[in-house]
Every structure is written in structure tokens, then in C-alpha cells.
Chain A
Amino acid sequence: AQSVTQPDIHITVSEGASLELRCNYSYGATPYLFWYVQSPGQGLQLLLKYFSGDTLVQGIKGFEAEFKRSQSSFNLRKPSVHWSDAAEYFCAVGGPFTGANNLFFGTGTRLTVIP
């Protein structure tokens, strides 16, 4: 079945530490890939997206993500986490290979940042 998976429900990191959030997808072809962030009480903000080209994608707020076709993964990274990064992070897929016009979301990873 087609799906997008975020294996980690909750991650806690210290401020200043590096961060990697995992995302795996299962589709017949590479879909468009997105990372969104949702701060408490807020809507979703697009961090970055990938649909072709360079497999290392730079986004806003110092985030980057790397697409690895062999692993069907699109992991989100940040070298040094700030307290304001505490939020819920969603990986999403879209594009014609999904057979739909909308996005499909993973279950999300909640990030807690400790001082």
C-alpha cells in the first residue's frame, strides 16, 4: 500500500544539538516530498520540498533534507537546534504518482528542545 511513514513519534534534543527526523515513503515512483512544521496553535508552514534535481534540499530556518532513492527516504536535518524549533513536524508526499491532487501526510514527529 502507498504510504508515508515517520517512525519517530517524539524526539527530545538539547538546544544546540543536531537533529534528524526520519521520513520514508512507499510509492511505485518517487513522489513529490515535503516537510512542514506546525507550531502549537498554528497552521502548517512549508520548510522545504523536493521533486527533482539535487538530492540535498535547503529550506527555511536552517533546515535541510536529503532524498535517498535507494532507501525511499527524505530525512530532515538541522545542525544546531534552537528552542524555537520545538514543534510538530510532518513529512508529506504529493504529485502525479500518488494518483491524487492533495498531499498525504505522515503521522508527525513532535520535537521537544531542552535547555
Chain B
Amino acid sequence: SAVISQKPSRDICQRGTSLTIQCQVDSQVTMMFWYRQQPGQSLTLIATANQGSEATYESGFVIDKFPISRPNLTFSTLTVSNMSPEDSSIYLCSVSISGQGDGYTFGSGTRLTVV
């Protein structure tokens, strides 16, 4: 399975600022997924990042708030823009190397607190 390096692992940010989260994968992958896990809740998909094309966002998430870059097949960033306390969550990236039947690997997550 893939190994994902996600950073930062945690951050405390002032409201109104932006934070960029990075995910580096040790294998080339077509799709990378970004999830949000709000306190005490499950994971919700923010967007799917494909190399060479615009990310596909889920309902309730917009590119201006969560811009995503995917410059190559092993790297992606998610930016949380103009943050408010409601953005305090764990953000996780995920990939699947061999297709959905093999399961998905997750990064260790970024715990974001907005004050």
C-alpha cells in the first residue's frame, strides 16, 4: 500500500488567514481525495484531485474556500482560505493505488484549530 506524508500535523491559526496542507505520496496515483472530519463527527469528502485537471468538489464545498493543487501524480495541496472557527477540523488526504477494491490509504491528518 502507499505511504502518505501529510503536513503540518497540526496548527493553530487566526481567523481570516489561510493554511495550506500538503500531501506527498510515495507512489504515482491518479486520484487523491481530501476529507474533512469535524470534531466528534465522521469523514466528509471535500473534493477529488486529479492530476492535470480541476478538482471536483462535493456539494457544500467551493473552490474559493478550499483551493486544491495537483501539480503531479505524487503531490497535492489543500488550502483552507479565510478561516473561521467553524473550519476547525481534522483534514485528511487519501489515495488508492490499485483501485477501489484494495482500499484506501490515509495520511495522518492535519488537526486545525482556528481562533
A34 contacts across to B, CB distance below 8 A: 103-104
A41 contacts across to B, CB distance below 8 A: 111
The chain B residue sitting closest to A107, CB to CB, is: B42
- Contact (Cβ within 8 A) A46 B104: yes
Please tell me if A14 contacts chain B, counting CB pairs below 8 Å.
no
The chain B residue sitting closest to A48, CB to CB, is: B103
Please tell me if A79 contacts chain B, counting CB pairs below 8 Å.
no
Q: How many angstroms between the C-alpha atoms of A45 and B31 in the bound complex?
A: 19
Please tell me if B22 contacts chain A, counting CB pairs below 8 Å.
no
The chain B residue sitting closest to A106, CB to CB, is: B42
Please tell me if A17 contacts chain B, counting CB pairs below 8 Å.
no
Please tell me if B43 contacts chain A, counting CB pairs below 8 Å.
yes
* Residue contacts A-B, CB under 8 angstroms, 23 given: A32-B101, A34-B104, A43-B6, A43-B92, A44-B43, A44-B92, A44-B106, A46-B1, A49-B103, A51-B101, A90-B42, A94-B100, A94-B104, A95-B100, A95-B101, A101-B33, A101-B48, A102-B45, A102-B48, A103-B33, A103-B104, A108-B41, A108-B42
Q: Range of interface residues on chain A?
A: 20 to 34
- Contact (Cβ within 8 A) B100 A46: no
Give the A-binding residues of B (Cβ under 8 A).
Answer: 1, 6, 31, 33, 41-45, 48, 92, 94, 100-109, 111
Which among B33, B102, B105 is the interface contact of A102 at CB below 8 angstroms?
A: B33
- Contact (Cβ within 8 A) A43 B42: no
B45 contacts across to A, CB distance below 8 A: 102-103
Please tell me if A42 contacts chain B, counting CB pairs below 8 Å.
yes
What's the nearest-Cβ distance from chain A to residue B49, in Å? 11
Q: How many angstroms between the C-alpha atoms of A45 and B23 in the bound complex?
A: 17
